[in-house]
């Protein structure tokens, strides 16, 4: 397995491999950039097929966190960590405490939080070994689950996208929501309250039918979601959902959702523009959760968090206007905003757009 020659390495500042046989811990921490501040990013636990897959994932995700923090105007850099293992079988308090020890050794250069395969409650154990952790349970002075705030940011982003592309409000429009996890479910509630009609799908059929009852939503099979007649497509599950297979099926006018790395490749952003489908870049629209947990690091201020999350809509409007003036895909315009925030420096390969950032699930 190579590191420096890996395409996803992209000038990362630091990559740390962790092993603790006593507790069964194998993990990787990737710090992409600390130019704007300490690197903040979640700790994912996933049964990767091999070490190379885990390395590729953590490198791409950490670079994406640099983009997200910069676009959100936060004084933070980008990082990520992954634990190799099945969270349903291998996650123990001892393993989580050992992960906290590994984070602590970095002296504050990396701040961790919950992610796929880990929970807010898990970080009560991580917190026993390090103070460099956010997204803690409220009982420990944290702000709890950030998913509702992520969903709220996505909602504001959809409102801005619809206003820009269609010149109207959400009421009466149809939104197709892919994925009914914490973010997708909370987003459905907000959309339904705004008067939107919902089409939903999830690999968990029980969840989908619960959404049907709760939000008067129409349920479709997972593979059918790409071809439904809807004004907005809101992917809130897997990454790389805009690809060679799915894009020809799409009749949406807006794509704006909570999942990371939605474009399989850069060229798909250009193809969306050619098809007159407005794309809200994922690392901009889904920054609400990051904004919330970052506030724990700085001292939680609810009013400030609410203003920043609502500001996601204004940031997207700026990106859409820039893309329109320059004739570039919205993803490229968003990367220009990131470069401005980073002072024009091509930290970690940023100047080369997202360099196929979205090939992996986020």
Helix/strand/coil for 324: helix
The β-bridge relationship of strands 197-201 and 278-279 is unpaired
CA distance 322 to 193: 31
From 22, 68, 80, 89, the catalytic residue: 80
Q: Are 280 and 260 in contact (CB under 8 A)?
A: no
* Helix, strand, coil share of the chain (percent; to 5): 45, 15, 40
Q: Which of 79, 80, 84, 89 is nearest to 19 (CA)?
A: 84
CA distance 3 to 1: 7
Around 140, how many Cα atoms within 13 Å sit in the side-chain half-sphere?
19
Residue with tokens 């979601």: 225
Q: Which of 334, 226, 227, 341 is nearest to 286 (CA)?
A: 334
Pair of tokens at residue 36: 């704007």
Q: Are 288 and 150 in contact (CB under 8 A)?
A: yes
Rg (C-alpha) for the chain, rounded Å, is: 19
Residue 19 CA: distances (Å) to CA of 28, 39, 99, 102, 175: 9, 21, 9, 9, 45
Q: Which of 106, 109, 115, 111 is nearest to 127 (CA)?
A: 111
Pair of tokens at residue 39: 């690197």
Q: Assess whether 80 carries a catalytic annotation.
A: yes
Q: Are 124 and 137 in contact (CB under 8 A)?
A: yes
Catalytically active residues, by annotation: 80
């Amino acid at each position: 397995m190579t590191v420096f020659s890996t395409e996803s390495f992209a000038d990362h500042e630091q990559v740390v491999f962790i092993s603790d046989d006593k507790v069964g811990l194998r993990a990787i921490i990737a710090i992409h950039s600390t130019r704007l501040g300490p690197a903040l990013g979640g700790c994912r636990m996933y049964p990767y097929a091999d070490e190379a897959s885990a390395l590729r994932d953590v490198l791409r995700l950490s670079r994406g966190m640099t983009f997200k923090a910069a676009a959100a105007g936060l004084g933070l850099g980008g990082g990520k960590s992954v634990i190799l293992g099945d969270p349903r079988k291998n996650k123990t308090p001892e393993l989580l405490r050992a992960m906290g020890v590994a984070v602590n050794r970095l002296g504050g250069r990396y701040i961790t939080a919950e992610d796929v395969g880990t929970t807010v409650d898990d970080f009560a154990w991580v917190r026993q070994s390090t103070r460099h952790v956010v997204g803690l349970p409220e009982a420990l002075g944290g702000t709890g689950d950030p998913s509702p705030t992520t969903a709220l940011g996505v909602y504001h982003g959809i409102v801005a996208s619809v206003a820009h592309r269609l010149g109207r409000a959400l009421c009466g429009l149809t939104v197709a929501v892919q994925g009914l996890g914490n973010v997708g479910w909370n987003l459905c509630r907000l959309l339904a309250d705004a008067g939107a009609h919902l089409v939903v799908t999830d690999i968990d059929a029980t969840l989908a039918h619960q959404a049907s009852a709760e939000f008067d939503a129409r349920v479709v099979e997972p593979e059918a979601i790409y071809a439904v007649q809807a004004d907005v497509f809101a992917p809130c599950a897997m990454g790389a959902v805009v690809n060679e297979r799915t894009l020809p099926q799409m009749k949406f006018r807006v794509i704006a959702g909570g999942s990371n790395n939605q474009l399989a490749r850069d060229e798909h952003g250009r193809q969306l523009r050619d098809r007159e489908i407005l794309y809200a870049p994922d690392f901009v629209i889904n920054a609400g959760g990051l904004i919330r947990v970052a506030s724990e690091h700085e001292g939680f201020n609810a009013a400030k968090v609410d203003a920043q999350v609502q500001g996601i809509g204004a940031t997207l409007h700026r990106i859409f206007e820039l893309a329109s003036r320059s004739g570039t895909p919205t993803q490229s315009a968003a990367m220009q905003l990131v470069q401005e925030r980073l002072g024009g420096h091509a930290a970690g390969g940023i100047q080369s757009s997202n360099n196929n950032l979205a090939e992996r699930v986020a």
